[in-house]
Copies of this chain bind each other. A is one copy, B any other.
Amino acid sequence: MANIKDIAKKAGVSVTTVSRVLNNHPYVSEEKREAVRRAIEETNYKRNLNAVHLSKGETFLIGVVIPFTNHPYFGLLMEGISNEAVKNNYKLVLFQTNYEVNREVEALKMLQHKQIDALIICSRSCSWDVIEEYVQYGPIVLCEDSRGRKVSSTFIDHYKSFFNALEYLHKNGHQKIGYCIGRKSGTNSKQREKAYKEFLKKIHAPYVPHYIFDQCLKFEDGVKVVQQLTEMDDPPTALLVTSDIVAAGIITCCKEKGISIPEQLAIMGFDNQPIAKIMHITTLEIPLVEIGKKLFLQAIDKEKNSHEEIQVKLIERQTV
């Protein structure tokens, strides 16, 4: 059976060119593409792509670690990553981790075993010790501040942006401010918690543990938050909600219960998702699609250890 070298010889092109044609990769002249196609037809070549990978060491697959599919935050990141992958003719291998360390290690192992060319970790469960064992095998890209590590990263400064958002609520007259978070134990959440505690100190406000609402990921989680608020003797007057979709759930639920926004409860969202615009939610714009795009480009970039901080922007609307 003809192999890739035979094809290259017959077509009068390099093995790399044959591989590019087989992978539908751009940047091959139509002339060469045609020559390869003819050679393939004449030799009745049925390639085994895994063999191609063995010879080339490139798979045109990029791994993406996400905790779960179908979440608006990761949905927007994935949108950016995936659109850019389409443009560059790469495919994505999805690693849904449910925040289990083992599943993230599996992704790292696929990088080690050259089954993927690079790995994007959208939200990390592994410690740095574990991740750094694998940097030798290929590019690893993270969506958190990873300066000083042997990886690349695109990130926002969660401490600073959270602190600024809290100050904005305070300037608008609020002293009792709570927040809703997706996962308290996440690395970004820890930065936010730090900002929250230091902000409280700054304004001489007490730390009230039940002003923090954990596990707020979806629209329907807003129902739970409003329920808890109505049961409090001394509820917060403002909430920083780290996802617009949760903020939308809270607002919808407040309307039903006759809680007026922002008079009785001020709400500040995060992300500036389309729903924030339509529901007039004051929010912090985080360009997630743009971040996803940059994460992908860092993954296919041979230059390692690039780091980019993305700026957030306060969008004032009607809920604060």
Is A188's beta carbon under 8 Å from chain B? no
Q: Are A278 and B79 in contact (CB-based, < 8 A)?
A: no
Specify the chain B residue showing the minimal Cβ separation from A92. B94
Find residues 57-83 in chain A having any chain B CB closer than 8 Å to their own CB.
Answer: 59, 61, 68-70, 75-76, 78-79, 82-83
Among A107-115, A153-161, A294-302, the one that faces the other chain is A107-115
Q: Which of A20-72 contact B (CB under 8 A)?
A: 24, 47-51, 53-54, 59, 61, 68-70
The answer on a CB contact under 8 Å between A219 and B61 is no
Contact of A278 among B69, B96, B253, B277 (CB under 8 A): B253
Give 1 or 0 for each of A154-182: 1 = CB within 8 Å of chain B CB. 00000000000000000000000000000
Q: Let me know if A315 is at the binding interface, CB within 8 A.
A: no
Tell me whether A86 is interfacial, beta carbon within 8 Å: yes
Contacts of A54 in B (CB 8 A): 48, 50-51, 54
Query: Which residues between 188 and 234 of chain A lie within 8 Å of chain B, taking CB atoms?
Result: 218-220, 222-223
Q: How many copies does the complex hold?
A: 2
A98 contacts chain B at the CB level, 8 A cutoff? yes
Query: B278 contacts A114, CB within 8 Å?
Result: no
List residues of chain B with CB within 8 A of the CB of A70: 75-76, 78-79
Kindly list chain B residues whose C-beta atoms are within 8 Å of the C-beta of A24: 102, 106
- The distance in angstroms between the C-alpha atoms of A94 and B94, with both chains bound, is 7
- The verdict on A249 contacting chain B, using a C-beta distance below 8 Å, is yes
Interface string of A252-283 (1 = CB under 8 A from B): 11000000000000000000001101110000
- 12 inter-chain pairs at a CB distance below 8 angstroms, sorted by A residue, are A47-B113, A48-B54, A49-B114, A49-B115, A50-B51, A50-B59, A51-B54, A61-B93, A69-B78, A219-B275, A219-B278, A252-B278
Q: A-side interface residues toward B, CB under 8 Å? A: 24, 47-51, 53-54, 59, 61, 68-70, 75-76, 78-79, 82-83, 85-86, 91-96, 98, 102-103, 106, 110, 113-115, 218-220, 222-223, 249, 252-253, 274-275, 277-279
